[in-house]
Amino acid sequence: MATLRFKALDEISRRELIETKLSDQKISGYFGADVFDRETMRQYIAKDAYESLCNAIDEGRRIDRKFANQIAQGMKTWAMERGATHYSHWFQPLNDSTAEKHDAFFEPMQGGGSFETFKGELLVQQEPDASSFPNGGLRNTFEARGYSAWDPSSPAFIIDKTLCIPSIFIAYTGEALDFKTPLLKSLQVVCKAAEDVCQYFDKDVKKVNVTLGWEQEYFLVDEALFLARPDLMQTGRTLMGHIAAKDQQLDDHYFGAIPSRVLEYMKEFEEQAYRLGIPIKTRHNEVAPNQFECAPMFEEANIAVDHNTLLMTVMRKVALKHKLRVLFHEKPFAGVNGSGKHCNWSMMTDTGVNLLAPGKTPKNNIQFLTFFVNAIKAAHDYGTLFMASIATQSNSHRLGAHEAPPAVMSVFAGSTLSDMLDSIEERVSDKKMTPDEKTDIKLDIGKIPDILLDNTDRNRTSPFAFTGNRFEFRATGSSHTCAAPLTVINTAIAEELIQFKKEVDALIDKGVKKDEAILQVIRKYIIASKKIRFEGNGYSQAWLDEAGKRGLESIGSIPEAFTVFNRPQYKELLTKHGVYSESEICARYEINLEILIKKIQIESRVLADMAANHIVPTAIKYQNVLIQNVQGLKDIMPDEYMELASEEIRAITKIAKYVKSIREHNRQMIDARKKYNNTENIIERANGYWDVVRPIMSVIRQDIDKLELIVDDELWPLPKYREMMSIN
Ligand code: ADP
Ligand code: MG
């Protein structure tokens, strides 16, 4: 009998609910308790140092070195009062994880004794031994000095008795080796561009922030089953497994009652999230069995990105306590929905106005339309880059399937706003408008909020959908960082806003009135970006055909998607605004290829091992049972009855056929790996893994899944889909 699987099933049947003891306090009573936020800073830092820090946070100014010591001192006191013994710079290297290197506050003294210390210079900069992070050749190993530098705009926090200091991570030579640095640069560019455009409408606006609200999807699987699946353990997804008879066909999981075990888990990670200042608002079941989602209240984008990465770490840890494993992989199970991470994007002024929310007056609404149309134009001009920004090996299983964003970029505006854009296109002209025409159109624009209220149409098949007061970018993978797409979206929108302002100013200089000039450029942008707008079903073949006719690009493969960043027009966009340097783009291209190769290599090795050492021996064992049986029948039955054993003989033959095919393909796959491992050129190597190794993996999987249907259930060594997809 397949011991591990049945042990696991037995263990699960005896699981007891692990209850979460929640604090007696209201959530607002402990929200942010483990965060060094402004309130706490004020208490622990002297006034002038505090003000210098606030300036750094609000205006991106440098902190005077002389204050760094005082700030570090304050942080240390606060952290030690909460039991912290260590500190660590906390950053996001280019491999979808977070990195930390803990150092103790404790320091022994010469001649005996010891004390706790934390100096300003250690707060500002730390030099982890960083030679093993992906660097795309930017940093020679013998000169392995990447360093992390404090990002004061994201508050420090305590986790597991360690004071964590959000940081950027850069090579000694100055290039960014993380996701945060380019994100911060892109935020600076887009915020400045938006602030400038806002001046047309409200001179009081001094600061604009990008707001991000992410929605995190994930799967849960029982720990015992997880441990019995080498593929889940090592690759985060199942490389084999026949689909269950019942999975999501009945739509009975989506928004259903949350299973008690899962609820206890959610309660616990949410409580930790609240202590860390992560404002989780919603939790619910998702479409696939065992798939769930959580989403916070939106926040300033840099903080929201940090909170998402931090929460993923917390969720992983808390799952262990509940004897669960959380799967952030985009497609852990074939045949059911995968997981994404929707990024809801908008901008907010320091006067409290959401720039993508229709307002109450025509003036407010022209401002809204300005930002709305510029975002659409950004998606039109740089849509391929948007899609390239979320292209990863694991997300490739989702893209283009009928569950996630289609491979072609489009924007959903909703029928009300679509009509409004059409009407502006028709009624505004480059000629001077009469006062009546102007009043009419402004009146219509003024009506937007009323009509939007009843206009609840939601299009779930659009990769970039306007959802009332924000754009929702749905293509990001669940395991990926929001920073990757956000960096591109911010920069593209910044570019549009800057051009927009130039064009409006040029018209004003020619004597056109400001409001007319704005409407004229809006109209121009509406026309220029028309082909990206699509209101229908983004999954349909009809749309793919239509998109082809419109000349919209669909990215073929992931290695190809990586090359999009190297196209001159996109390179120009990113370097012009200082978001990436030329060498950073090159390095990232190499890193992306490298990660793709390694991930497929790992999957392929795990698959080969499981096929040869788990599946084939099991199949042969069962085949022998059948052979023995047929042999026995032959011994006791007259020849003319042997026809009755024909199905059994067929099963024996089928097993032999699948086993042979698995073995042959395994050999082919290993040979292909060998060949491409020895290919010097990294692009050819990546293409080889993508075009040759990957398809062989699917053939092997198909054969294994067929065997799963033939072989005696008692012998099958791996937990089956139906077992992994129900949590009790
Ligand atoms: P849905 O599933 O309908 O998209 P959710 O409630 O799951 O809705 O998620 C909506 C997300 O959008 C939340 O994270 C929310 O904070 C975010 N959001 C709402 N308004 C804004 C905004 N102005 N800017 C950015 N994100 C926003
Ligand atoms: Mg959503």
**pLDDT tens by residue, 577-621:** 999 999 999 999 999 999 999 999 999 999 999 999 999 999 999
**pLDDT tens by residue, 33-52:** 999 999 999 999 999 999 99
Mean pLDDT of 278-301: 94
pLDDT of residue 681: 95
The band of 401, judged by pLDDT with boundaries at 50, 70 and 90, is: low
Q: Give the lowest-confidence range in 104-108, 632-636, 723-727.
A: 723-727
Ligand 1 centre distance from Cα of residue 312 (Å): 18
Are 446 and 361 a contacting pair, CB within 8 Å?
yes
Mean pLDDT of 239-245: 92
Provide the 8-state DSSP code for 432.
Answer: P
pLDDT of residue 455: 58
Task: Give the ligand 1 atom nearest the CA of 344.
Answer: 26
Provide the 8-state DSSP code for 611.
Answer: I
Ligand nearest to the CA of 214: 1
Neighbouring C-beta atoms of residue 453, cutoff 10 Å: 11
DSSP for 644-704 reads GGHHHHHHHHHHHHHHHHHHHHHHHHHHHHHHHHT-S-HHHHHHHIIIIIHHHHHHHHHHH
User: Six-digit token pair at 12?
Assistant: 């699960």
Ligand 1 centre distance from Cα of residue 469 (Å): 9
The band of 451, judged by pLDDT with boundaries at 50, 70 and 90, is: low
Ligand nearest to the CA of 299: 1
**pLDDT tens by residue, 145-169:** 788 999 999 999 999 999 999 999 9
Please, what is the average pLDDT of the chain?
92
Give backbone dihedrals phi and psi of 84, rounded to 5 degrees, phi first: -70, 140
The band of 257, judged by pLDDT with boundaries at 50, 70 and 90, is: confident
The burial of 10, by beta-carbon neighbours within 10 Å (0-12 exposed, 13-18 middle, 19 or more buried), is given as exposed
Q: Give the lowest-confidence range in 17-21, 85-89, 142-146, 517-521.
A: 142-146
The band of 457, judged by pLDDT with boundaries at 50, 70 and 90, is: low
Mean pLDDT of 304-322: 97
Ligand 1, atom 26, lies closest to the CA of 213
pLDDT of residue 296: 98
**Which of 187, 190, 215, 280 best tests ligand 1's pocket when mutated (most atoms within 8 Å of CB)?**
215
Contacts of 326 (CB under 8 A, 6+ apart): 218, 219, 220, 315, 316, 319
The band of 438, judged by pLDDT with boundaries at 50, 70 and 90, is: confident
Percentage with pLDDT > 70 across the chain = 96
User: Helix, strand, or coil here: 463?
Assistant: coil
Ligand nearest to the CA of 345: 1
Beta strands in 298-376 (DSSP E): 299-300, 324-327, 341-349
Mean pLDDT of 267-291: 95
pLDDT of residue 582: 94
In the predicted structure, residue 728 carries a pLDDT above the cut 60: yes
Task: Give the ligand 1 atom nearest the CA of 469.
Answer: 23
Mean pLDDT of 121-150: 74
Ligand 1 centre distance from Cα of residue 633 (Å): 67
Q: Is the ipTM of this complex over 0.90?
A: yes
**Which of 284, 294, 298, 346 best tests ligand 1's pocket when mutated (most atoms within 8 Å of CB)?**
298
**pLDDT tens by residue, 537-577:** 888 889 989 999 999 998 889 999 999 999 999 999 999 99
In the predicted structure, residue 454 carries a pLDDT above the cut 60: no
Ligand nearest to the CA of 357: 1
Q: At what angle do helices 435-446 and 415-427 cross, to 10 degrees?
A: 170
pLDDT of residue 185: 97
Which residues lie with the beta carbon below 6 Å from any ligand 1 atom? 211-213, 215, 282, 295-298, 344, 346, 354, 469-470, 472
pLDDT of residue 172: 83
23 versus 245: which is more confidently predicted? 23
Ligand 1 centre distance from Cα of residue 534 (Å): 22
**Which of 344, 452, 467 best tests ligand 1's pocket when mutated (most atoms within 8 Å of CB)?**
344
DSSP for 345-363 reads EEEEETTS-BTTS--SSHH
pLDDT of residue 486: 98
Mean pLDDT of 191-205: 97
pLDDT of residue 104: 92
Ligand 1 centre distance from Cα of residue 459 (Å): 15
**Which domains, and CATH codes, for the chain?**
31-178 (3.10.20.70), 187-580 (3.30.590.10), 595-724 (1.20.120.1560)
Provide the 8-state DSSP code for 139.
Answer: S
The band of 59, judged by pLDDT with boundaries at 50, 70 and 90, is: confident
Ligand 1 centre distance from Cα of residue 217 (Å): 14
